[in-house]
């Protein structure tokens, strides 16, 4: 069974840290884009056969920046073309607290959406302004309450730390506020300054003042301990959930399973081939019209690459990489393929290498990139 990711590349505003594929929604050909998206789904399924999907995730951009009419059209397309069955266990949508009307929530609910992921980032209004978000703390409370009233019982709050000017006290307040809402899931990522963002330009000019590295590590420690104290267990480096409420869609990625990627800039992984769609909206629409498929790049993943991906994706999970599953999938044992890397990382205290799995230690979570990098190029 496969998953599907659907990308809506439109936003009402552009955040200072964002390097996703997104465009100001005003003046964009949204109607044409939704038609092209439908055509991409139809053409893909004609090639692969009708999939029985286990998860669908609509991300962006901001899916909820679509008008009610456009959102309804998107939902109708998904139901008509992807034909979700009773096997679909998760249908998730990313939502912005400032544009989540009751009307949009009802459209999502009626279409079968059963999980919302709110882009909150922080509960400090002045920090929100600094990072280019337009919503305020009160908008999160209001839209969260509306979503609950309409019956959404699986909500993720997405937070960030390491923001310019953010202190441990700010983070403490944000975490307490987020936890007081009693959401089912929390994603908490550190800010990474990516090229072609407002923050990157400010950094180049020496005008971006980020918390020092040691403080960022303290912030991550605070996130982990606070979640644990509230019984919200960490199941991935940056993700925390109540028991049974983990993101099934994201677990597909971390378990290196296959998924469709529909929409401008979306990535897919089907039948051993990774695909990358073109990003610009007009280019995407034109390619669908001309060729039926919007690929910028397709790459058949070699077995060595699959194994590397299995390691650096799987190690993100608290459960780590299961040795049994690995051996069933690749016909070789992990210990046989990576004897020196496993020994070295275990000696440095970065991984636990037990009989059943390899997983990160507490220290390994802090130095994740060092661990993931150790498996690259080893085969």
Nearer to ligand SF4, 198 or 342 (CB): 198
Least distance to ligand SF4, CB of residue 370, Å: 27
Enumerate residues 6+ apart whose C-beta is below 8 A from 108: 71, 75, 93, 116
What are the beta bridge partners of residue 159?
Answer: 121, 188
Rg over CA atoms, the chain:
21
Enumerate residues 6+ apart whose C-beta is below 8 A from 299: 273, 274, 275
Nearer to ligand SF4, 14 or 202 (CB): 14
Half-sphere exposure of 7 (CA within 13 A, CB side): 24
Least distance to ligand SF4, CB of residue 94, Å: 8
Least distance to ligand SF4, CB of residue 265, Å: 11
Beta strands in 221-332 (DSSP E): 233-236, 239-241, 259-262, 267-270, 273-277, 295-300, 321-322
Least distance to ligand SF4, CB of residue 92, Å: 15
**Binding positions for ligand SF4, rule: CB under 6 A:** 11, 14-15, 18, 20, 22, 60-62, 96, 119
Helices and strands (H and E) in the chain: how many? 16, 17
Nearer to ligand SF4, 13 or 348 (CB): 13
- SS3 state at 209: coil
Nearer to ligand SF4, 65 or 239 (CB): 65
167's tokens: 């202190």
Nearer to ligand SF4, 195 or 231 (CB): 195
Enumerate residues 6+ apart whose C-beta is below 8 A from 162: 190, 191, 210, 211, 216, 219
Least distance to ligand SF4, CB of residue 58, Å: 12
Least distance to ligand SF4, CB of residue 263, Å: 13
Nearer to ligand SF4, 190 or 215 (CB): 190
User: In the complex, which residue's CB is closest to ligand SF4?
Assistant: 18
């Amino acid at each position: 069974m496969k998953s599907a990711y659907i990308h809506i590349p439109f936003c009402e505003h552009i955040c200072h840290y964002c390097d996703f594929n997104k465009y100001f929604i005003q003046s964009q050909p949204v109607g044409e884009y939704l038609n092209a998206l439908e055509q991409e789904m139809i053409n893909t399924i004609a090639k692969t056969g009708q999939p029985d999907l286990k998860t669908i995730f609509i991300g962006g951009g901001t899916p909820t920046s679509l008008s009610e009419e456009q959102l309804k059209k998107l939902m109708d397309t998904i139901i008509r073309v992807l034909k979700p069955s009773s096997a679909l266990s998760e249908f998730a949508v990313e939502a912005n607290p400032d544009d989540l009307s009751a009307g949009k929530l009802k459209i999502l609910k009626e279409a079968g959406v059963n999980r919302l992921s709110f882009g909150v980032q922080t509960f400090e209004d002045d920090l929100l302004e600094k990072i280019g978000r337009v919503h305020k703390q009160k908008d999160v409370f209001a839209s969260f309450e509306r979503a609950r009233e309409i019956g959404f019982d699986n909500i993720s709050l997405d937070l960030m730390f390491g923001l310019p000017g953010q202190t441990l006290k700010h983070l403490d307040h944000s975490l307490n506020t987020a936890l007081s809402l009693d959401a089912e899931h929390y994603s908490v990522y550190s800010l990474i300054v990516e090229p072609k963002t407002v923050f990157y330009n400010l950094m180049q000019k020496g005008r971006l003042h980020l918390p020092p590295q040691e403080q960022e590590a303290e912030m991550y420690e605070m996130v982990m301990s606070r979640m644990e104290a509230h019984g919200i267990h960490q199941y991935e480096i940056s993700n925390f959930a109540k028991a049974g409420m983990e993101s099934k869609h994201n677990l597909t990625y971390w378990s290196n399973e296959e998924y469709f990627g529909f929409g401008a800039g979306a990535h897919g992984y089907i039948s051993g081939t990774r695909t990358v769609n073109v990003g610009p909206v007009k280019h995407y629409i034109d390619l669908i019209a001309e060729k039926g498929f919007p690929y910028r790049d397709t790459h058949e993943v070699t077995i060595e690459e699959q194994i590397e991906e299995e390691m650096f994706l799987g190690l993100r999970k608290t459960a780590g990489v299961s040795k049994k599953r690995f051996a069933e999938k690749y016909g070789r044992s992990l210990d046989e393929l990576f004897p020196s890397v496993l020994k070295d990382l275990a000696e440095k205290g970065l991984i636990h290498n037990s009989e059943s799995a390899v997983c990160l230690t507490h220290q390994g979570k802090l130095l994740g990139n060092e661990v993931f990098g150790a498996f690259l190029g080893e085969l």
